[in-house]
Amino acid sequence: MQTNLSGDSDSNVVVRARDVRKFFAEREVVCGLNFDVPQGICFGILGPNGAGKTTLMRMLVGLSPVSSGEYSLFGQDVADAALHHRIGVVPQQDNLDPDFSVFKNLMVYANYFSIDKDTAQKRAYELLEFASLSARANDGVMSLSGGMRRRLMIARSLVNDPDLVVLDEPTTGLDPQARHLIWQRLRSLKTRGKTLILTTHYMEEAAELCDDIMVLDHGKILDRGTPRELINRHVEPEVVAIRGLNTEADTKLLCADLEVRFEQVGDTWFCYMQDARSLVARCAEDASLTFIHRPASLEDVFLKLTGRDLREEA
Amino acid sequence: MDILTLNPRHIWAVWYRNYLVWRKLIVASMLGNFGDPFLYLLGLGYGLGMYIGEMGGIPYMAYLASGILCSSAMNTATFEGLYSAFTRMNHQGTWEGMLATPVRVQEVVAGEIVWAASKSLISGTAILLVAGILGGVQDWSTAWMAVPVIMLIGLAFAGPALVICAIAPSYDFFMYYFTLVVTPMFLFCGVFYPVDALPEFVQWFAQVLPLTHAVQLIRPLLTELPLVNPLLHISVLLAYALVGYAIAANLARKKLIR
């Protein structure tokens, strides 16, 4: 059956999902998803814990069987083992080989792809350069920092020169410097024509990297679009976050005559509006208030779509 | 998954990874391979042999050497297939890393089994040499044929070990396997004395166990005792290896591909 929702020609579609479902026993964790990922973009999958992100990724790389529906990569069913020659995977959990040096990790991994030694060696040196790890080539991986290990994981996922790189939370737990370096490297992969698919909890990361974002919760797609589209669609352009207001009545009084949408999180009131200048002026006059005025971000969209409740690991 | 879909290149890649790790620790590893049997044969072969003299018509040293060779091949493959493979399967995520490549889960299991058997081959060959030095080998014209048989013995114990590895929730679980399976085999399968010294029902039971067949193949090759029913023994060992592989591959798939 040929249905094409996005209207792209098939050759440009890397991933294609039609009514993809996944059950664990009776529980449905991926509930009939339909989406395409075009070639050459960075596609982000966002969602709280338990949304089905990781399962969706694991199915894509053949680590989890699809319960029903059509899920294909490069026009082939995701269960086809030969697809692994065209994908690189960076899992959430670090699984570098602790017994080997940085360089040897790449060489041993290349061997799983049946890449001959000379080619592997040449590629390993290039990838160490790419990951800024050349100076550490002969060090054991246990001596690397968290950021270096992540970079090595990304380098390792590239040993087979894949067309698609799948990353599950690539910068979780890293400091800002390490994250920026990784973002820069991931962007450079995109300019080399690779397609990236990543999951993340960091909205800033999604905004920095992704051309197209799918927000997922409870196994369903809540919305999809570019970061800018999502912000325009769901939230007002400006936000004033105010602390020091005791009651809702106080807040309403402060915002009298202004067109504002409120949300309260703990002791902070978030006021979303088209133009926040007059509210900012009022806040500035009241010394008892602490406030931050900023443009609306993906984080505001995410919280509006998935709710502000705390999610425990499902 | 088809357990018969096996790419030798992939199996070799899994094997080679383990080999590279082993090569890093070669000194400690080889010391264990040569040192342990040397002490065993010296202590029991000479010590006990002094009192026992002959067993089954041959000097006790020769009797014991062939038994220790088999039990050591069993232990080596079992340890590798339990503890080491478990670490790679669970704690280190090594298997999951491999599964993100064209290597399939049944090839990972096959590679692990062949590797565990290779370690048996190394330790078994070491014992053969030590036994030769200590006078435990009576007939070198057939003893060299023990080498491929040691590999087969390793495979026969690696298969079941990988099954246990795949169902084990933690390292502690392996104690059951040692207490209920490995230790009884060590004691009742003809390593130290002939199986026919045992009560009849135990003898029947011993005939089902792989170590009995391993000993009955190896001992005649190293000594002057006649080789009886070699095809039966080879078939039993082969069956353990293949059935073990098939079950382990299916269990590992269920555990990792969810």
Query: What does the DSSP assignment read for A247-262?
Result: SHHHHHHHTTTS--EE
Q: Where are the alpha helices (DSSP H) in chain A?
A: 53-60, 102-112, 117-130, 146-156, 176-191, 203-209, 227-234, 248-254, 277-285, 298-306
Which ranges of chain A have pLDDT less than 50? 1-8, 313-314
Q: B42-57 pLDDT, tens per residue? A: 898 888 888 999 999 9
CB contact under 8 A, B13 and A89: no
CB contact under 8 A, A114 and B13: yes
The beta-carbon neighbor of A98 closest among B16, B92, B104 is: B92
State the Cα–Cα distance between residues A89 and B93, nearest whole angstrom: 13
Tell me what pLDDT residue A265 has. Answer: 80
Position A107: which residue type? M
- Cβ-Cβ pairs closer than 8 A, A with B, add up to 71
The pair of structure tokens assigned to B235 is: 């078939």
CB A203 within 8 A of CB A258: no
Helix (H) or strand (E) holding A44: strand A42-46
Side-chain-facing half-sphere of B235: CA atoms under 13 Å: 6
- B3, part of any domain: no
Tell me what pLDDT residue A5 has. Answer: 45
Interface mutation vs chain A, best among B29, B101, B257, most A CBs within 10 Å: B101
Smallest CA-to-CA distance from A52 within A232, A185, A222, A187 is with: A222
Domain boundaries, chain A: 10-231, 236-295
Smallest CA-to-CA distance from A260 within A244, A228, A283, A285 is with: A283
Range of the domain at B219: 8-256
Query: What does the DSSP assignment read for B199-250?
Result: -HHHHHHHHHSHHHHHHHHHHHHHSSSPP--HHHHHHHHHHHHHHHHHHHHH
Q: Cβ neighbours of residue A145 under 8 Å, at least 6 residues apart?
A: A178
Q: How confident is the model at residue B2 (pLDDT cuts 50, 70, 90)?
A: confident
On the 0-12 / 13-18 / 19+ scale of CB atoms within 10 A, A226 is middle
| Residues within 8 A of A (CB atoms), B 75-114 only | 92-94, 96-104
Helix (H) or strand (E) holding A36: strand A27-38
State the Cα–Cα distance between residues B143 and B132, nearest whole angstrom: 10
Name the DSSP class of B180: I
CATH of A10-231, one of 3.90.400.10, 3.30.70.3420, 3.40.50.300, 3.40.50.80: 3.40.50.300
**CA–CA distances in Å: residue A194 to residues A25, A38, A92, A164, A180:** 36, 11, 20, 6, 19
Q: Could you identify the residue written with the tokens 């040192």?
A: B35
Q: B214-251 pLDDT, tens per residue? A: 999 999 999 999 999 999 999 999 999 999 999 999 99
Angle subtended by helix axes A102-112 and B8-24, to nearest 10: 160
ipTM of the complex as predicted: 0.93
Helix (H) or strand (E) holding A14: strand A13-24
Tell me what pLDDT residue A7 has. Answer: 43
On the 0-12 / 13-18 / 19+ scale of CB atoms within 10 A, B230 is middle
Longest CA pairwise span in chain B (Å): 59
Would the CA dihedral through A234, A238, A244, A245 be positive or negative?
negative
Two domains, one topology: A10-231 and A236-295: no
The pair of structure tokens assigned to A278 is: 């007059």
Chain A: give the shortest CA distance to residue B23, in Å. 11
In three-state secondary structure terms, A19 is strand
CB contact, 8 Å: B254 with chain A? no
CB contact under 8 A, A109 and B94: no
The beta-carbon neighbor of A112 closest among B24, B92, B102 is: B102
- B213, part of any domain: yes
Q: B148-184 pLDDT, tens per residue? A: 999 999 999 999 999 999 999 999 999 999 999 999 9
CB contact, 8 Å: B20 with chain A? yes
Residues in chain A: 314
CB contact, 8 Å: B8 with chain A? no
Q: B87-125 pLDDT, tens per residue? A: 999 999 999 999 999 999 999 999 999 999 999 999 999
CATH of A236-295, one of 3.30.70.370, 3.40.50.300, 3.40.710.10, 3.30.70.330: 3.30.70.330
Tell me what pLDDT residue A304 has. Answer: 87
Tell me what the mean pLDDT of segment B194-211 comes to.
Answer: 94
In chain A, what residues touch B102 (CB-CB under 8 Å)?
A: 81-82, 84-85, 112-114
Tell me what pLDDT residue A313 has. Answer: 47
Domain count, chain B: 1
In chain B, what residues touch A85 (CB-CB under 8 Å)?
A: 102
In chain A, what residues touch B6 (CB-CB under 8 Å)?
A: none
With CA atoms as reference, the chain B residue closest to A80 would be B102
The pair of structure tokens assigned to A304 is: 């509006």
